[in-house]
Structure 1
Amino acid sequence: MLTSLYIKNYALIDELEVKFENGLTIITGETGAGKSILLGGLALVLGKRADLSQVKNSDEKCIIETVFDVANYDLKSLFKSLDLDYEVNTIIRREILPSGKSRAFINDTPVTLDNLAILSDYLIDVHSQHQTMQVTEDDYQFKVIDALAKNQIVIEAYSGILKDYKSLQKSLEKLQVSKTELIKEHDYNLFLFKELNEIQLESIKLEELEEQYEELNNVEIIGEKLSIAKSILNTEDVGVVDQLNAAKQELTRISSFGKSYEALRERLSSINIELDDILVELDNLEEKLSSDPRELERLSEQLRIVNNLFQKHSVSEIDDLITIKTELQNKIDDTESLDDSIADLEKKIHKLEAELNQKASEIRANRKKIIPLLVSKLEAILSDLGMPNAKFKIDLEELNHFTPNGKDAIQFLFMANKGSNFNELKKAASGGELSRIMLAIKSILADYIQLPTIMFDEIDTGVSGEISNKMGAIMKKMSQRMQVFAITHLPQIAAKGDSHFKVFKTDKEDVTLTQLKKLSEDERIVEIAQMLGGLNVTESAMAHAKQLLN
């Protein structure tokens, strides 16, 4: 319930603070006194977009702050989902800065307007004649019927299954699209994979392959050069080895004359040993060297294949080709296993579909069972509200697809007068009739679910006499279960209030201000007497006012 409202620097309000209690709260005032200003300020707290033109003094900050007692609303999970601190006395504050920017806070935590609006829907319902069309909307009509049918638990279960069902359907659609695309590529991928697989990439060492090819391809020149090298090293008398031995003998003769000569002799000895090893290696290489045209052709073909694959796949390493082969293998496997995945998903979807059908049937059965009671209650209340011939018919049509409201389409049909035909509610009911229908529905709902604070903004327009008395009685009864505000021009309704506030204007230093005052019992009598007979209060008006209050 709304426990307090603070407004500063908004429209014609300089500063206003008021506290509210449970029950039926009446707000009255002359036309133009500023009741709409109060609603406008409240709308900002409910998430409406801010407008700098609404600020009274553009050099100062505008503040609207409300406090709601949310103990009975079971909102802890909602606060958690919005990442907000839960407080029994929840403070909502809206600020409009001189720059035109606005800020919103819930329990001192900054919030977006979207989150503010989400929470506000659970706290207060401002209802005016302009909002009566809500009763003609399918979602609202389902909400009414399901509240009476006590469908909340089964609808929550249905909604959870529907969420999973839609998620699996999306996954199935993606798989089916993937299958179509993969099938187009499957044959080509398979060709590429076989091409890569046939040459056994994992066993190829490209550097060795190229080296073997170069050796076989140049076997004659290699043999010739090896022979020349051996000749240079080992030709008798003039070869490098003999010449080196001669040089070593000369150094041997003088090695005893100094360490430096001995060191040179030893270095020549080392070179001599190394040359002997080189000659042995040259002999070995020459012996192994042989021409093999078939092997050369095999190596050439293998290199040609590898280079073609490099060019085709725009890579330069064997490892890159192996990676591509693995990727192709995965695509082929995916394509070949896709049917299994699709079949598995379809099986799960069929299972959820059966569960949804079962829940939807349960929801529909509960709705059909409660519709006669809702129709009866509506017609009885509307009869009291001056519509004795009003008749309702609520049709449910089973759909062949799932919706957030089950598998039903709903239609509220209405007939205002005898002899006329049933028609859609939005076409058959006038604005005044819709207001009374909405009041009737809200009063019925109050007996079944915890409604938020409701503020009726002059929904009694065009109503007078005994009907207004009945409307007031309905609001009074609703206020036993919830907090109800009624902005009204009718004394019969005003007299039903548990508390009564008056909106009025005052002039202060050439400035007009809107103020809100809680009336005492004596002030209420005068206010209701003025509502009955005008500003010049007569004794009969005072007596009538007292009678209404009693």
Structure 2
Amino acid sequence: MLAELFINNFVIIKRDHIFFDKGFNVITGETGSGKSLILDAINIVLGKRANKDIIGKFDNKTIIEAVFLLDDRLINILEQMDVVFDDNKLIITRTISDKSSSIRINGRITNLNLVKDMSKFLIDVYKQGDTNIFMYKNNYLDIIDSYKNDTESNSIRKKLESLYIEKNNFLKKYQEFDLSQEEISREKELISYQLDDIEQVDLKNINEEKLDQEYKRLNSVTELIECIEKCEEHLSSYDYDSPSISSMLASLSSSLSSFSNIDDNIKEINSKVDELIDSVNEIYSELDFYKDSLDQNPERLYELEMINQKIFDLKRKYGNNIEEILTYKDKIKKRYDELDKIDNYKDKISNSIKNIDESLKSMAKNLSYIRKNKAKELEEKIIIEIKSLNIKNADFRIDFSKKLRIDPNGFDNIDFLIKTNKGEELKSLSKTASGGEISRIVLAFKKVFSTFDNIDTMIFDEIDQGISGRTAQIVGEKILDLSKERQILAISHLPQIASLSNNHILIEKHDEKSLTISSSTNLKGEERVNEIARLIGGVDITDKTKDSAKEMLDMAERLRKG
């Protein structure tokens, strides 16, 4: 459930901290007071995109933080999405500034997509006038299949989708073989050329790094010999005008040896100098040996140039590296073999497609049978709920028709048909019903599905538009009934609905210097009586409207306890 909502510097909300309870929470307030901003803040913290216009004038950034209290079931689901928990709290923090924005889950930085994916497990929002799943025919198959959360429907649909993809792959393959003899000959000729081109170099036994190293060495033999000879001159030279390292070390050793017999420290140092002389001589020998091994080999250099050029050409034609070229080679070899046996392959593919079609037909038939059985039960429950919401002459049917072809959803076309008045014919739900009726129909669906969807929090934004009087009371009682199973947040203008809540939040505006500020108050006692009285009678609160408000709240208390 949503336990807390902290809002800082959001449009006209300077700083607000709202606490929600289990059960039925209602938000009321004058038109334009900022009620819808609360819902906007919830949507934004749950991943809705927001522009910089939401940043208020009280600070240089907006912060919205929501705290959810979760049960073990939901924690397990979110842990599988790599969310880390220290306790049963889920804290989502969204920060938005002119320069940057960030979102965190339990203090750890994350991304909007993860939060959006999580939100479908946390909150279900209905706002009158918004598009919702119950008003679009494209959603009806999903609605039927999700009813009762049965695993069989989902399992069949996954298999259908897998087989449908497999069939399409076979169809594409068949199209690749739907060639004339002339086309086959041309393609085989092209493949033969490409294979010959690739096989000019033994790519499997080539080490590009060693090849490049050998090429660079052979290409630099002259410069390398000159470098070694210069190094040898530095190490050991008989030119007295240019002393070598060896001669200087020998001179140093000679000077020190005069005192080696009288000073042990000098003796030790001289010993180290002698070791250096040995090392220099060894380096000289190794350089001289390596110089003798160097051989200019123009034939090998030319061969390496040709190999490198060929590899470059192959990369340009067939892949970015040797591995990709070899993969391409295997692919075209397989294609060549297929073209050689094209008739056999076409027969195999045709048989595979035929077998898949039979499986698709069987699965689609089974899925349709399951759907029709669920539809009968769903029709009965929806009719009961709609009639209980004061649409007494309502009728609801789920209409099935058959598609011309089976797709990943089977062969069913489904439409929800409804009539709300006597003498009317059943019409598609997506094309009928007034605003007030749609709200009640959606409420009926949500009541029926509430047992299966496992979403802890439901939000109704002004679901009471277009209704009043006894109908409003019935809708309120239905929402109260729903709140016994999950948390409800409702934005309402009607006292019949507001009075039934167990947590009443009032949104008000006031002026502070040159700015208008929206803030919330959790109402108790006389404050709540006054707000219900305002909803009943408008601006002028009289003793009569207050008495009516008290009576309404007393009746609501009895309903909650009952």
TM-score by length of 1: 0.69
Letter in 1 for 2:102: R
Residue type at the aligned position of 1:106 = I
Distance 1:193 1:70, change over 3 A: closer
In structure 2, which of residues 489, 498, 518 is the aligned counterpart of residue 494 of structure 1? Answer: 498
Aligned position for 2:135: 136
Deviation at 1:63, TM superposition (A): 0.9
Q: 2:162 pairs with 157, 164, 178, which one?
A: 164
**CA deviation digits over 1:94-135, x for unaligned, max 9?**
111122x33223334444333322221221122111126542
Output the CA distance in 2 between the equivalents of 1:15 and 1:468.
33
Measure how far apart 1:89 and its partner are: 2.0
Once the two structures are TM-superposed, the CA of residue 342 in structure 1 deviates from its matched residue by 5.5
Residue by residue over 1:343-396, the C-alpha shift from the partner in whole angstroms, topping out at 9 and shown as x without a partner, is: 555555555544444443333223222333333333333333332112222201
- 1:124 — aligned with what? 123
Contact 2:156–2:367 (CA under 8 A) maintained in structure 1: no
Q: Aligned equivalents of 1:362 and 1:84: distance in 2?
A: 38
What is the aligned partner in structure 2 of residue 70 from structure 1? 70
- The whole-number CA distance in structure 1 between the counterparts of 2:155 and 2:376 is 25
Distance 1:154 1:467 in 2: 39
- 8 Å contact kept, 2:338–2:345: no
Label 1:400 to 1:477 Cα distance change in 2 as closer, same or farther (>3 A): same
Tell me which amino acid in the other structure corresponds to 1:545: A
Match of 2:5 in 1: 5
SS in 2 for 1:469: helix
TM-score by length of 2: 0.68
In the alignment, the residues of structure 1 paired with residue 460 and residue 413 of structure 2 have an alpha-carbon distance, to the nearest angstrom, of 29
Q: Which amino acid aligns with 2:97?
A: L
Q: Which deviates more, 381-390 or 103-112?
A: 103-112
Matching residue of 1:547:
551
Q: Deviations over 1:445-495 (max 9, x none)?
A: 113332341111111112111111110111011111111111101111111
Q: 2:435 aligns with which of 431, 438, 443?
A: 431
The one of 169, 174, 188 aligned to 1:176: 174
SS of the equivalent of 1:523 reads helix
1:25 aligns with 2:29: no
For the residue of structure 2 that corresponds to 1:371, the secondary structure is helix
Q: 1:548 to 1:46 in 2, by over 3 A?
A: same
Contact preservation (8 Å) 2:27, 2:489: yes
SS at match of 2:530: helix
Match of 1:115 in 2: 114
Q: Distance in 1 between matches of 2:360 and 2:124?
A: 32
Residues 167 and 521 of structure 1: is their aligned pair in 2 closer, same or farther, counting only changes over 3 Å? same
Shift of 1:54: 1.1
Alpha-carbon distance in 2 for matches of 1:19, 1:467: 29
1:521 aligns with 2:525: yes
Tell which deviates more after alignment, 188-197 or 56-65. 188-197
One-letter amino acid of the structure 2 residue matched with residue 129 of structure 1: Q
Give the secondary structure class of the aligned counterpart of 2:130: helix
Task: Give the match's secondary structure for 1:130.
Answer: coil
Query: Equivalent residues in 2 for 1:73-472 (5 A)?
Result: 74=74, 76-77=76-77, 79-80=79-80, 82-85=81-84, 88-99=88-99, 101-131=100-130, 134-148=133-147, 150=148, 152-180=150-178, 184=182, 186-188=184-186, 331-337=335-341, 350-472=354-476
SS at match of 2:405: strand
| Structure 1 unaligned regions, length at least 5 | 203-313, 316-322
Instruction: Kindly provide the amino acid, as one letter, of the partner of residue 57 in structure 1.
Output: K
How far did 1:171 drift? 2.9
Kindly state the Cα deviation for residue 439 of structure 1 after the two structures are TM-superposed: 0.9
Per-residue deviation at 1:518? 0.9
Contact kept? 1:172, 1:342, Cα under 8 Å: no
Larger Rg: 1
1:236-286 CA-to-partner distances (Å, cap 9, x unmatched) read xxxxxxxxxxxxxxxxxxxxxxxxxxxxxxxxxxxxxxxxxxxxxxxxxxx
* Structure 2 residue matching 1:131: 3-state secondary structure: coil
Identity, in percent, stands at 31
Q: CA deviation at 1:71?
A: 2.1
**Deviation at residue 327 of structure 1 after TM alignment:** 9.2
AA partner of residue 5 (structure 2): L
Distance 2:119 2:458 in 1: 12
CA distance in 1, matches of 2:530, 2:488: 23
Change (3 A) 1:14 1:404: farther
Distance 1:515 1:325, change over 3 A: closer
How many residues are paired up?
426
Aligned-partner Cα distance in 1 for 2:546–2:192: 103
Say what the alpha-carbon RMSD is for the aligned residues. Answer: 3.4
* Displacement after TM superposition at 1:5 (Å): 0.8
Q: Secondary structure at the match of 2:9?
A: strand
SS in structure 1 of the partner of residue 369 of structure 2: helix
Seen in structure 2, the aligned counterparts of structure 1 residues 334 and 468 have a Cα distance that, compared at 3 Å, is: same
| Preserved CA contact (<8 Å) 1:9 1:15 | yes
Question: Which amino acid is the alignment partner of residue 545 of structure 2?
Answer: A
How far apart, in 1, do the equivalents of 2:174 and 2:455 lie? 46
CA contact (8 A) 2:14 2:58 kept: no
Per-residue deviation, 1:37:
1.2
Paired letter, 1:168: E
Whether the 8 Å contact between 1:416 and 1:428 is mirrored in structure 2 is no
1:140 and 1:195 mapped to 2: Cα distance? Answer: 53
> What amino acid does structure 1 have at the position aligned with 2:25?
T
